[in-house]
């Protein structure tokens, strides 16, 4: 999990995220190659929520990867960085009526996830029969029953989508078709606890059953995201797509029905490092504390796991210390990044670099005590700043600030 580098090497000013563009290229190309091999009529769409850095969205657009969004804000962000509506997959349960109607009118691939969305889509279809409203429905299916132990809500039900067993899925189909809309897609997304392709095989199997039961002719099957990715595992993406095809090729016309995937962490987690620096060390009782200029909220905002890391230090190998508590800069006692055992005795100025921290870290970033850190892209051994560190001016401009005086905004409560 860890390594030591000698001597100190050049790096960005800390704290900072660094995106290795070459690693990102490898993972994106592996997924595209897997789709080209097993389901050429497909759409790769990047999960914007995983990391919504504008540079990253622009990169994905240049690569021909669509944007998968789950809110009005993300939809507008995708448009702002240059995506056309036809290049956006619009998911999630919190769409507004206005943006949903706009997305349907302008050709976004749209999967409905709530009853009000079904009602709004039906209303639009009834208002304008010439529009040919075509939507997908998110399916609620029991992952734990088909792949025991894989569900992230083991022992409970997922809250997303329409249950196709108890009649809610069928009721949505009836409401839409009666209004003149077409159910043209299925959205099968479920998160899992491991990288097992069997989860996607199960999703595809449920989709096959639904297609047969309801006699659906589909424009797309959105198998979702939640994929795992590793620079070391060169076959995993191929395994995912090949098992999906094996389950579905007898149920749909692969030249007509597009396979839609929504990778996020599987392509952006591994290419990103976070560079931290030692600010101070102190011995308290029998404990040695190492204070850094980062917080655990920067690299593990949900406080769930330990990121792999390496240390850049000038310390000699014979200066190992039995135990060092690596702590963040915040005033929270539990802001402790890890405990190093039998590692070089860190000193002020040493660097700790956390690996594989590209997923959700930046999206969950906050202005708690410090503003968001800078982001650099590593391209051919050259670092380019793509987001400067946040400052007070950014914070003031992002909030309604009137010098402490109450001012009318013109908005009236509804």
pLDDT tens per residue, range 349-383: 999 999 999 999 999 988 899 999 999 999 998 99
Can you count the helices (H) and strands (E) in the chain? 13, 19
Same domain, 379 and 254: no
Instruction: Average the pLDDT over each of 224-238, 317-331, 346-360 and give the range with the smallest value.
Output: 317-331
Same domain, 221 and 182: yes
- CATH number of the domain encompassing residue 185: 3.20.20.10
State residue 400's pLDDT score. Answer: 61
Residue numbers of the domain that contains 212: 39-267
Grouping H, G, I as helix, E, B as strand and the rest as coil, residue 152 is coil
Residue ranges of alpha helices (H) inside 63-197 are 72-80, 97-105, 115-127, 143-146, 168-178
Give the model's confidence band at 414: pLDDT under 50 very low, under 70 low, under 90 confident, else very high. Answer: very low
Same domain, 222 and 282: no
Same domain, 122 and 250: yes
pLDDT at 395 over 90: no
10 Å CB burial of residue 373 (0-12, 13-18, 19+) is buried
Burial 242-265 (b: 16+ CB within 10 A, else e): bbbbebbeebbebeebbbbbbbbb
- CATH number of the domain encompassing residue 325: 2.40.37.10
For 294-300, what is the mean pLDDT? Answer: 91
Name the residue with higher pLDDT: 386 or 405. 386
Cis bond before residue 295 (omega within 30° of 0): no
Is residue 406 situated within a structural domain? no
State residue 185's pLDDT score. Answer: 98
Instruction: Average the pLDDT over each of 77-81, 180-184, 341-345 and give the range with the smallest value.
Output: 341-345
Same domain, 351 and 220: no
pLDDT at 303 over 50: yes
Pick from 374, 366, 375, 363: nearest CA to 395: 366
What DSSP state is assigned to residue 217? -
Same domain, 276 and 263: no
Is residue 297 situated within a structural domain? yes
Instruction: Average the pLDDT over each of 26-35, 62-71, 125-134, 150-159 and give the range with the smallest value.
Output: 150-159
Give the model's confidence band at 302: pLDDT under 50 very low, under 70 low, under 90 confident, else very high. Answer: confident
Is residue 90 situated within a structural domain? yes
Average pLDDT, the chain: 92
Same domain, 91 and 215: yes
Pick from 274, 304, 308, 306: nearest CA to 292: 274
For 254-277, what is the mean pLDDT? Answer: 97
- Our count of domains for the chain comes to 2
For 239-257, what is the mean pLDDT? Answer: 96
Is residue 46 situated within a structural domain? yes
pLDDT at 405 over 60: no
State residue 4's pLDDT score. Answer: 47
Same domain, 159 and 195: yes
Q: pTM of this prediction?
A: 0.92
10 Å CB burial of residue 123 (0-12, 13-18, 19+) is middle
For 243-250, what is the mean pLDDT? Answer: 96
Same domain, 90 and 9: no
Which of 267, 287, 311 lies at the terminal end of a domain, its last residue? 267
């Amino acid at each position: 999990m860890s390594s030591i580098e000698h001597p100190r090497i050049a790096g960005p000013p800390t704290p900072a995220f660094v995106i290795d563009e070459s690693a990102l290229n490898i993972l994106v190309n592996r997924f595209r190659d897997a789709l080209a091999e097993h389901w050429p009529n497909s759409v790769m769409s990047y999960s914007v929520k995983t990391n919504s850095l504008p540079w990253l969205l622009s990169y994905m657009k240049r690569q021909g990867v669509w944007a998968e969004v789950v809110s009005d804000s993300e939809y507008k962000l995708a448009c702002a960085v240059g995506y056309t509506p036809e290049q956006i997959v619009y998911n999630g349960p919190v769409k507004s009526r206005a943006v949903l109607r706009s997305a349907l009118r302008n050709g976004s691939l749209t999967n409905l996830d709530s009853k009000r969305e079904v009602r709004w889509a039906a209303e639009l279809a009834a208002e304008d029969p010439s529009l040919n409203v075509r939507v997908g429905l998110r399916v609620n299916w029991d992952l734990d029953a088909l792949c025991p132990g894989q569900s992230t809500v083991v022992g409970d039900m997922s809250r997303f989508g329409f249950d196709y067993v108890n009649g809610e899925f069928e009721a949505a189909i009836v409401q839409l078709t009666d209004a003149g809309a077409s159910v043209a897609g299925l959205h099968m997304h479920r998160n899992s606890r491991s990288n097992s392709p069997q989860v996607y095989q199960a999703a595809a199997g449920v989709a096959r059953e639904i297609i047969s039961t309801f006699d659906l002719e589909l424009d797309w099957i959105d198998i979702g995201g939640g994929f795992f990715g590793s620079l070391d595992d060169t076959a995993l993406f191929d395994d995912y797509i090949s098992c999906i095809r094996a389950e579905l090729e007898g149920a749909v016309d692969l030249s007509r029905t597009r396979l839609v995937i929504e990778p996020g962490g599987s392509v952006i987690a591994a290419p990103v490092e976070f560079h931290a620096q030692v600010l101070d060390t102190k011995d308290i009782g029998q404990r040695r504390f190492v204070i850094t200029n980062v917080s655990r909220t920067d690299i593990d905002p949900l406080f769930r796991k330990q990121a792999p890391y390496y240390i850049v230090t000038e310390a000699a190998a014979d200066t190992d210390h039995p135990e060092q508590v690596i702590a963040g800069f915040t005033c929270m006692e539990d802001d402790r990044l890890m405990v190093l055992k039998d590692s070089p005795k860190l000193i002020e100025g040493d660097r700790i670099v956390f690996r594989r921290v590209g997923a959700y870290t930046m999206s969950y970033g906050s202005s708690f005590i410090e503003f968001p850190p800078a982001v650099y892209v590593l391209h051919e051994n050259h670092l380019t700043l793509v987001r400067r560190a946040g400052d007070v001016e950014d914070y003031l401009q992002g909030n309604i600030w009137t010098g402490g005086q109450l001012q009318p905004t013109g908005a009236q409560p509804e």
